[in-house]
Structure 1
């Protein structure tokens, strides 16, 4: 492990950030980023689109994303540094393609905190229709920026608190739903396999559509890899944490989805936006309904946005450290006391207020989806390029599976989702890429120079 003031040939950087995180902390971070109560956002729409088989949709999505999670695991073991896919593709494939990958991550994650805060204000309007949304945006963004500037230790305690709160709410909902179905005899009145299997409706088209719906709900598991430089023994723990958090969140989603399906089997009459909340009210009454809405507002607007801001600030710090983006001198600095990428966190905070106030949810969703899926495809390709071709690790069956077949499956699955975006998403996404291409061409003096840390790597 590298020590303060020194660098290793594999990373090329001195250790500036404070290493305090364990595997448990990383798994909690991943769970919070993907949001255990996320079915409140997507369950109803997924259930309507899948003939009431939302739990199966979550299962398909988890399996589909699992291959990409394995790719993150492999690259984080090889390159235990901040930057996530930016650093992995930069070293595994090509420095300039790595920059474009980081540019796509910026498109993905830099707007997510504002998107999440916007969701929170939308939900709060159900309880407090006259509450000024601009004030909530400023307060939530201010809180998460303060925590991220102060350090990952503070963020760790906040994550633990919010995870416990969400798991408690989920447990209460499951207990109420079990009583509602199995004791009171409502809904299906008992066990049913229909939420997982309806043979007359399941075919390749259904599976493809299900993957398209569900995989977007798992976006965020990769944020764990941005914390590599703040993790104890990152080569062992980061990769395992990525896979573990994905599997755990998938099980949480399926459990909630299954009980919601039993409690309210008539999926066709669900409201696409508030349907899950309506089921909560049905099984647990007004008290649980309003508690879930308020919890959703707080968890999404503070906790979920906090982890996303933490992740993107570290990507910006990594790109600033490499001097490949505008304002690199500002973004690449570490706070002298807290040992955090404070400037990058403040920058994301200011931008999040602007995003939350002035950009529509529909536009934000388009940007997030294009950035995330494009990043995942490049990450899978970097595994094949680096291990299978550059390092020539292809001498046995294990290498063929791990360094060729699995990342290729991950690439093809994500690629299928990527081909399903609407025209406007492609226009916005490729316009963003074109801007990035101009920046990297200028910064690299016509693609001739690479960051100092990559010379000789």
Structure 2
């Protein structure tokens, strides 16, 4: 059974801070703020920027906890490894199982969105053809190595940022010329007398999936130079940059189109706004940016999902075939192909169900990385005096409380589907793993 694992074939360290940050931002997708804006604007009654600030504050504490755990375990398994090593192997497996909801289903979401846009532009071509073409291209690029993925994402994130800047520029020009609210400065997106805190939290819980990039890059620790130094910095920068971009962009979206009840189609509200402020040019330019975003987010989510499966296969939680690395390309080829096959189910649609899965899995991961800091540093290593109390107990405890707060705002379908997924994982753990400890121990000294 162990012939799949050649310990002489390892993931190749090539990544520095900048490409890691770019992979994380690509995973988050700088343009995702436009995809979810209309729905969340109606959910929060026009307070989308405030919801982004709430989730940003909450996740900066969790980002700090990720940074602390990367220093302890700079390996490819992310939250799965942290909970496994710091709390208990079974807990670690269940956390990894939950986080797989994010990693495995995000490419499917991207392909479904991409297929929808391309089908609208070329109605004579069936949507299934676009899904197949996207899956083939993304799978092939990921197989040929993380460096190629990083280089592609550098180009894509640059273009997405350009689209974002142009869109915001058109909105500012429109506001100066009297469109929408006709002002550049107002507190309305953040506070109005009729504000409902529960709706703000519901909006924040929906938006949490937008921040998955800072978590995803922890799976690249074994392919990053000086991971104990580079990954924590990247995590914080990804969360902060992404959060500020989302907050500022949604702020201008509200100002230029304050009547959030007037959208013809909430999930395509940004296309309406693009045409409203920039005509056919901005409409087409924004559409091209959205397709690039689909491509770059898919590249990054493939990379992260395949590394998590690799880590779980390497230590025996999954069959050893998941731990295979191609001797030349140093990539987990079988895992990448499997993700490609799963992503083909995008032809079935049902995006609301997939989004529910993603939100549940994300918050489970955020919750347990905070628990892992407390378990590893505060309880196991007994680092409790002075600033250590703040670093290893107070900050992660705040992260736990904020994450639980967001959990209470999840829709019932997310809780039901997520719980069912965890029950399946628990049964797998009980009857296949039978409580055995991981068989692979990586030297991280």
The two structures share one fold, judged by TM-score above 0.5: yes
| Alignment match, 1:406 | 395
> How far off is 1:21 after superposition?
0.2
| Alignment match, 1:450 | 438
User: Does residue 1:357 correspond to 2:359, yes or no?
Assistant: no
Cα separation, 2, equivalents of 1:69 and 1:204: 24
Cα separation, 2, equivalents of 1:72 and 1:374: 13
| Alignment match, 2:89 | 95
> How far off is 1:83 after superposition?
1.1
Q: Choose which of 185, 192, 197 in structure 2 pairs with 1:192.
A: 185
TM-score, normalised with respect to structure 2: 0.93
Contact persistence 2:356–2:414 (CA under 8 A): yes
SS for the counterpart of 2:83 is helix
Cα separation, 2, equivalents of 1:37 and 1:331: 32
User: Does residue 1:115 correspond to 2:109, yes or no?
Assistant: yes
Matches within 5 A, 1:137-148: 137-148=131-142
| Alignment match, 1:7 | none
Contact persistence 1:62–1:250 (CA under 8 A): yes
* Count of aligned residue pairs for this structure pair: 437
Deviations 1:205-234 (A, max 9, x none): 354334323323223320010000000000
User: Does residue 1:278 correspond to 2:267, yes or no?
Assistant: no
User: Does residue 1:341 correspond to 2:332, yes or no?
Assistant: yes
Structure 1 unaligned residues grouped into runs of 5+: 1-12
Q: Choose which of 174, 191, 202 in structure 2 pairs with 1:209.
A: 202
> How far off is 1:306 after superposition?
1.0
C-alpha distance 25-372 of structure 1, shift in aligned 2 (>3 A)? same
Q: CA RMSD in A?
A: 2.0
| Alignment match, 2:367 | 377
Deviations 1:327-382 (A, max 9, x none): x22210111101111121111111111x2123521221121122111122122111
Deviations 1:109-154 (A, max 9, x none): 1121111111112233433334311111111111111111100111
| Alignment match, 2:406 | 417
Deviations 1:25-83 (A, max 9, x none): 11101111111111221111222223322222212221111111111111011110001
Structure 2 unaligned residues grouped into runs of 5+: 1-6
Q: Choose which of 387, 401, 411 in structure 1 pairs with 2:377.
A: 387
User: Does residue 1:73 correspond to 2:67, yes or no?
Assistant: yes
| Alignment match, 1:3 | none
> How far off is 1:429 after superposition?
2.0
Matches within 5 A, 1:163-174: 163-174=157-168
TM-score, normalised with respect to structure 1: 0.91
C-alpha distance 14-415 of structure 1, shift in aligned 2 (>3 A)? farther
Show structure 1 runs of 4+ deviating over 4 A.
Answer: none
SS for the counterpart of 2:266 is coil
> How far off is 1:176 after superposition?
1.4
| Alignment match, 2:29 | 35
